[in-house]
Amino acid sequence: MAIQVNNKAALLGFVGIVGIIVIYLHYPSKESDNQAALQKTSLDNNRKESLLKKLSDTNSRSGNMNWEELKSAAKSNAGITSTEVTVEVGGTKIFKREAVDSKKKTSGGTILFLHGQAFTSENWCKLGTLNVTAHQGYKAIAIDLPDYGQSAKGKTSDSVQFMLDLLKVLGLDIDKPIIVSPSMSGGFALPLLFQHPEAFKGYIPVAPVGVGKFNDDEYKNNKVFTCSIVGDKDPSLGAAATAKFSQMPNGETHTLEDAGHPCYLDQPQEFHQIMFDFANKVFQT
């Protein structure tokens, strides 16, 4: 017996079949749902692990940790050896403080700290800078400049020769240091910077005096890696330093908020973060 199929019924049947296929494709099985969920969870976990690793890497750098926590961690590091001695530099007795992590096989480099007129090397010691610097893997050296602190009285007549002699006595004439030079100590570091740029691995001026004694071309032609750090409440020396050091081809400038002339005292965490980030870059070049 022949079966006649109504065209309308056939069309409805076809539409129904297509609908079922669409529903199946659009709404996968429970098993597929579970697989998708597991895949998404795996991706989320991988992303979480990646973010946690980045956070860990970031927090391992000093600047993203609380300054008091950094000092505490450095203080509890039994490998840090601190010494205080007097060395003779060009016939002048100079007091030196040094901190180094003896557990580390190699040093990341040496950072030499000078000081401003109102301070001595003791300032860097009390602030925690020397221990924290050693804890970060660098050798930290701070001196009392001539006529300051525990160094011999009497001013030096030739600051450049004094600095060259100092670097030689400290063994830094070959393994070049980063020199941190706040305020008054610019009178020692800046003439050295322009007369003997080869003496520096890097330079961190902190609103040093004397920036105006050198012309713009001298700054533009000096290729020493430089990181100027000033406080926004130091409109005189700080602003002058930023204007000058920003001209250096390998220079970077930073202004710390709510910080005065000795900006490292007002914002120690941010100051040291910038310093260590800079040191990390410079000593790897």
pLDDT band with cut points at 50, 70 and 90 for residue 141:
very high
Catalytic residue from among 165, 234, 266, 272: 234
101: phi > 0 → left, psi -120 to 50 → alpha, else beta; which? beta
Assess whether 158 carries a catalytic annotation. no
Q: In what order do the strands lie in the sheet with 178-182?
A: 80-89, 92-101, 139-143, 110-113, 178-182, 202-206, 226-231, 251-256
pLDDT band with cut points at 50, 70 and 90 for residue 269:
very high
Catalytic residue from among 101, 261, 266, 272: 261
Catalytic residue from among 183, 185, 266, 272: 183
Q: Is the pTM for the entire model greater than 0.75?
A: yes
Considering only residues 103 and 142, tell me which one the structure prediction assigns the higher pLDDT. 142
Considering only residues 143 and 1, tell me which one the structure prediction assigns the higher pLDDT. 143
Task: Convert the pLDDT of each residue in 52-111 to its tens digit.
Answer: 333 333 344 444 568 999 999 999 999 999 999 999 999 999 999 999 999 887 779 999
Task: Convert the pLDDT of each residue in 8-48 to its tens digit.
Answer: 444 445 445 444 444 444 444 444 444 443 343 343 444 43
| Residue of 140, 104, 102 lying closest to 121 (CA atoms) | 140
Assess whether 183 carries a catalytic annotation. yes
In angstroms, the CA 67 to CA 244 distance is 30
In angstroms, the CA 29 to CA 241 distance is 68
Which pLDDT belongs to residue 27? Answer: 43
Task: Convert the pLDDT of each residue in 198-243 to its tens digit.
Answer: 999 999 999 999 999 999 999 999 999 999 999 999 999 999 999 9
Assess whether 232 carries a catalytic annotation. no
